[in-house]
Amino acid sequence: MEQIIPKRERDIVDINGDTRRICTLPGGQQIYRSRLNMMNFLHTKRLPTCFHVHHEDENTQNDDLSNLQLLSKGGHAKIHHPRDYKYGVSMTEDKKGYMTCYNKVYWQRNKNNTVYRGKQLDRANAKYQATKDDPVLREKRNANGRKNYLIRSQDPVWMAENTAKKRAYEAKKREEKKNEISQLS
């Protein structure tokens, strides 16, 4: 395959503040010079976006082939954000998964720490107290509940399960009241 020769090249400043060389290909596509060098080296017309081109000396202006390394997106993130993988999940790729792992580890570490648990419960209680009486938030919560109920009520399986749960809850409450009355007398 012939080498891809760009129509024109120009310098830009990327989001990290580094100066990079941008090439305009014959089809009008714009790519970094480092990706173009890697594509020419691999004899391909396209390099999937799941592959990143890493500069080994961290100098983005040095697009020499000996300085470039082809990495997966996750492998590239591990090099630039090593602390990000502390819990086995990347925060930049899956923030919810990262926070779930972080909270599990932190909770295990502090489960017997009464000061930590007390502070955590105080924060949760303060947040609840601050929002429970707010009429705007109350209406928003109620509206979301009504909307979700309307959507779910179209599903006959969900309605049957929900009805069974309600009946079981009501029966449990009736049983508890009977036990209270019998204990009082």
- Please state, as a whole number, how many other Cβ atoms lie within 10 Å of the Cβ of residue 98: 19
pLDDT in tens, 41-68: 998 888 888 888 998 888 888 888 898 9
Percent of the chain with pLDDT over 90: 11
Global pTM value: 0.46
CA pair distance 102, 94, nearest whole angstrom: 12
Structure tokens at 8: 């024109």
What residues have CB less than 8 Å from 78, skipping those under 6 apart?
Answer: 84, 85, 90
The whole-angstrom distance between residue 167's C-alpha and the CA centroid of its chain comes to 38
Query: Do residues 46 and 38 lie in contact, with contact meaning Cβ atoms separated by under 8 Å?
Result: no
Query: Looking at per-residue confidence, does 29 or 184 come out higher?
Result: 29
Query: Do residues 71 and 79 lie in contact, with contact meaning Cβ atoms separated by under 8 Å?
Result: yes
Query: Looking at per-residue confidence, does 73 or 97 come out higher?
Result: 73
